[in-house]
Amino acid sequence: MSILNIAWKGIKTDFRHTKTLFFMLAFPILLMLVLGTALSNTFTTSLPVDDLHVLYKDTTQGGSFQQFMNASEKSGIHFKKAAEKIDGKREVKQSTYDGYVEVTEKGVQLYVNNENNIKANILQGMLSAYVNKYNIASEIMKAAPDKLNSAFTSREQSDFIKEASINPNKEPGSMDYYAIVITTMIVLYGAMSASSLIVSERVRRTADRLIAAPVRKSEIFIGKVLGSLVSNGLCIILVILFSKLLFNANWGNHLGLVFLVLLTEVVFAVSLGIGVSFLTKTSTAPQVIIMLFVQLASFFGGAYFKIENPEGIFKFITDLSPLTWMNSAMTKIIYANDFAAAIPAISINLIGSFLFLLVSIISLQRREGLK
């Protein structure tokens, strides 16, 4: 019963502390909004292209190129026949048109403006396809003219190649990405408040009063840890709900597993804070050490900007950040339904938690009281 009373007292204290609530709730929401909006272009997977306007001259007798132009109109490529006195090359050079095509009996010549490589590549690709088809038709005409019509109208075997994408349209946008990385970062910041669980009793000089009460040191320790776990866990639930409702962030279809992974990080953060507080001798040192650790872990863990395919020493450094493992696990669970990805993150969090709690328990047993 004493453990629950101590835990409940800690929870009430955390939620009455305005600065703590702002930092654990309002700060991550604001950071998601700022970073998710400001860096949205870095997560764009498609590039819009305006309609293309092409000038052309056709001196051939057949109507194959006319058919090609009619089909291209559906794709946003508009052809205009050049008048006799118009210099098509100059029009393209002056960017009046995106391209100029000359179609003769000898072949097709395309002139493009290299200022827009995307449009130039589109025109080159489409005209290459047209020329290849025309060449095939010419060869069929030489070998078997009667087969020409059936060769280009038959659709019986049009599925030799089937294209499929893995997890189509399931890539995190900027708001989705920052909802994940900011949440994992703010969980790690929970070590800051956890570091003051015992230190605050020393600073307020209430440690002796606690020890004098009919409560064992182990009960005090467990109660404070339990209260901090509940407080941080509730804050994370609220952050996830706010990000989902306000920003429509994608947390996937496995919220239970996602929260389980986050809960193990909460345990790690609380254990880290308590462990560091026992390893240091002054009341201010834990805050400084934890702040430095969290900032470095956030920077190399991709909390501020996306880190893709690091190599060499930089990859080694990023792998040292617990947030790298957390963010990777969360992304794979949400977007690839890879449940096995949770195992490394959970293992690292629980092993780290065990080590820090072990240090704290040993240190507490060797001390007189809570000092």
Segment 284-307, tens digit of pLDDT: 888 899 999 999 999 999 888 888
β-pairing, 77-81 vs 107-112, is unpaired
pLDDT at 10 over 70: yes
Q: Please return the burial class of 295, using the count of CB atoms within 10 Å of its CB with bins 0-12, 13-18 and 19+.
A: middle
CA–CA distance, 227 with 218 (Å, rounded to integer)? 14
Residue 161 banded pLDDT, cuts 50, 70, 90: very low
pLDDT at 268 over 90: yes
**Model confidence pTM above 0.85:** no
pLDDT mean over 267-278: 90
Among 54-58, 181-185, 364-368, name the most confident range: 181-185
CA–CA distance, 223 with 34 (Å, rounded to integer)? 37
pLDDT mean over 275-279: 86
Where in the sequence of the chain do the CATH 3.40.190 domains occur? 52-153
pLDDT mean over 199-208: 58
pLDDT at 157 over 50: no
DSSP annotation of 207:
H
Burial readout 253-273 (b: 16 or more C-beta within 10 A, e: otherwise): eeeebbbebbbbbbbbbbbbb
pLDDT in tens, 15-61: 777 777 787 888 888 988 888 888 776 665 555 667 888 888 887 76
pLDDT (0 to 100) of residue 180: 93
Higher pLDDT, 251 or 91: 251
The proportion of the chain whose per-residue pLDDT surpasses 90, expressed as a percent, equals 24
pLDDT (0 to 100) of residue 221: 78
**Is the torsion defined by CA of 265, 269, 270, 272 positive or negative?**
positive
pLDDT (0 to 100) of residue 238: 92
Among 27-31, 154-158, 213-217, name the most confident range: 27-31
Among 128-142, 209-223, 342-356, name the most confident range: 342-356
pLDDT (0 to 100) of residue 202: 59
pLDDT (0 to 100) of residue 9: 77
Tell me the three-class secondary structure of 1-25, residue by residue: CHHHHHHHHHHHHHHHCHHHHHHHH
pLDDT (0 to 100) of residue 207: 54
CA–CA distance, 298 with 323 (Å, rounded to integer)? 7
pLDDT (0 to 100) of residue 141: 59
pLDDT at 164 over 70: no
Residue 193 banded pLDDT, cuts 50, 70, 90: confident
Beta carbons of 7 and 223 less than 8 angstroms apart: yes
One CATH from 3.30.310, 1.10.150, 3.40.190, 3.40.50 for 52-153: 3.40.190
Residue 181 banded pLDDT, cuts 50, 70, 90: very high
pLDDT in tens, 91-130: 888 778 888 888 887 777 888 877 667 777 777 787 787 7
pLDDT (0 to 100) of residue 349: 94
Among 73-82, 201-210, 314-323, name the most confident range: 314-323
pLDDT in tens, 70-90: 877 877 888 888 887 788 888
Q: If we measure between CA atoms, which residue out of 203, 134, 172, 201 comes closest to residue 40?
A: 172
pLDDT mean over 131-160: 59
Distances (CA, A) of 284 to 18, 24, 185, 199, 225: 21, 21, 22, 9, 20
3-state secondary structure at position 341: helix
pLDDT (0 to 100) of residue 48: 62
